[in-house]
Amino acid sequence: MALKGVIIDPGHGGKDSGAVGNGIVEKDYALKISKYMYDRFKELGIPVRLTRDSDITLSPKERIKEIKKYFDRTKNTIVVSNHLNAGKGDGAEVIYALRDKNTLAKKILNNIESSGQNARKYYQLRLPNNSSKDYYFIHRDTPNNESIIVEYGFVDSPKDDVSQIKNNYKAYAEAVVKAICEYKGIKYTKPKNITLNNNNSGVKNDYFTYSVKKGDTLWDIARLYNTSVDNIKKLNNLNNNSLKIGQVLKIPGQLYIVKKGDSLWKIAKNNNTTINSLLKANNLKNTTLKVGQELIII
């Protein structure tokens, strides 16, 4: 079945810190892991959303409401809830829903293990008073999606989890991205160094960076990237129009990686832009695309 999209859920947040210990606050690492995954799915051209992209409190109801906003209510939409564990264990765990097979859970745990963390188990958990239902609401209340909880390690581990979480969380997040690609038969490529920053789960507030060259004016740059001087000034907190050579500006837009079967026409149509804007923003001389090519979408 084709993948419609991935919804990443950074566990806890705001008033709910989750597990805390040894300088690790679960809600913060859940967010870091999730943002990393978000950037990577974008880089791979896979539709992705976050339930939260900042330190806010979300009730279970609000979290589910957020999830239901995106993609579809089928197994083609994967929900990944990122957590850390507590209880003096060591290693990663993956919990999958009662309705799902263990295929994805197993792949995720295997890949996390290959990236250097030790694997504890993948399993299902039932409500004690109603064994036909999942224990965790993230499984229970997303009944038609493929929903999975990943616990990357223990904040109170007597072994090496504490330093592993701090130093290797990106590698473990990458392991999950790779597992989802493998599971859905999507071509996986290793991360590139992209200067894409995401401050929002929506497309509109993404930006890429532009380094000011000799002779550039705000007006030139705005025209080149199909935006306005005002938008650039707002995003960069600029009070006037003066620029310095080498100054790094945030430009509203989105990075897109060309997939097999893409055409400029298709990309323009799917992103509410025009072939002409794409040609201009990317300095393209013709409409030929290569798989893996990076395009700026404005």
Q: Applying CB under 5 A, which residues contact Zn ion?
A: 11, 18, 83
Minimum Å distance from CB 136 to Zn ion? 10
How many residues are there in the chain? 298
Q: Which amino acid is at 123?
A: Y
The CB-of-272 to Zn ion minimum distance in angstroms stands at 37
CB 21, CB 93: distance < 8 Å: no
- Residue 288: CB minimum distance to Zn ion, A: 47
Nearer to Zn ion, 18 or 153 (CB): 18
State how far the Cα of 253 lies from the Cα of 251, in Å rounded to an integer.
6
Q: Which is nearer to Zn ion, 11 or 253 (CB)?
A: 11
Provide the minimum distance between the beta carbon of 12 and Zn ion in the complex, in angstroms, as a whole number: 6
- Given the complex with Zn ion, which of 77 and 82 has the nearer CB atom? 82
CB of 158 to Zn ion, least distance (A): 19
259-298: burial string, b at 16+ Cβ within 10 Å, e else: beebebeebbeebebeeebbebbbeeeeeebeeeeebbbb
**Among residues 20 and 203, whose Cβ is nearest to Zn ion?**
20
Using CB atoms, what's the residue nearest to Zn ion?
Answer: 83
Identity of the amino acid at 278: L
- Burial-class residue 164 by CB neighbours within 10 Å (0-12, 13-18, 19+): buried
Choice between 139 and 250, CB closer to Zn ion: 139
